[in-house]
Amino acid sequence: MIELTLIGIGTGNPDHVTFQGAQAIRNADLILIPRKGKNKSDLSGLREDIITRVTDTPPRIAYFDIPERRSDDGYLRGVDAWHDAIALRWQDAMAAHPEARQVALLIWGDPSLYDSSLRIAARLTPQPPTRVIPGITALQALTAAHAIPINAIGAPYTVTTGRRIRDEGWPQTAGTVAVMLDAECSFQHLEMADFDIWWGAYVGMEEEILIQGPLADVAAKILKTRADARASHGWIMDIYVLAKRAG
């Protein structure tokens, strides 16, 4: 019986891998690594670097290509079909290595937070026992990089997506809001004069970029910086926190 382990690796900085995560990498017979196209080859390379850093005898690696996500039938149906297709890629990769019993994937951030890996793992047939090893989340890395707490004293905070900010606006019950998975800089749909922002890209990595200030003052800088960084690296991972301005 295969045992599947999802290992949180922070934002890609090898120093963000916990001792528990490093041990799980060393114990793996096989590690699955996704490929997302030539422009995102750095993502595979970062995983390879982490594996090399934590073990003298790297386990076998099986690569699989991430299928394209379609949205012809709507966002949620598109994501559901995409997860089905990825699960098949996982199964094919594991079937090519029938000797492997301990199979692992290295997951950006923490597998519990806005990550599809648990949902994909649940689609595998037969269903393997699945273990999750937490990692540093992008939200932890962002707030640490800016040296800020995520919420005011006794106040709630909300974690949401750019799509919901774009479609639904500011969550009415929120104190502060952390926004993830935002390829469109959806803060542009808010009344920008009302908010402060703490933005970061490649947080915790050598390429880290941080911008903070009144949203109306720094929005244009974030848009240009983000576009330039994406063009330079071929990919970008960013996250930001918003809070209503006092008064």
41 pLDDT higher than 80 = no
> By C-alpha distance, which of 54, 34, 52, 32 is closest to 42?
34
Measured distance CA(42)–CA(169) in Å, rounded: 34
Residue type, 42: D
**Taking residues 125-134, what's their average pLDDT?**
93
Domains of the chain by start residue, with CATH:
3-136 (3.40.1010.10), 139-244 (3.30.950.10)
**Residue with structure tokens 């983000």?**
226
Give the largest Cα separation in the chain, rounded. Answer: 63
Which residues fall within 8 angstroms of residue 229, CB to CB, at 6 or more apart?
Answer: 201, 202, 207, 209, 236
Measured distance CA(78)–CA(100) in Å, rounded: 31
* pTM of the entire predicted model: 0.87
SS3 177: strand
* 147-163 per-position pLDDT tens digit: 999 988 888 899 999 99
Measured distance CA(247)–CA(172) in Å, rounded: 17
* 196-219 per-position pLDDT tens digit: 999 999 998 889 999 999 999 999
- The chain-wide mean pLDDT, for the chain, equals 91
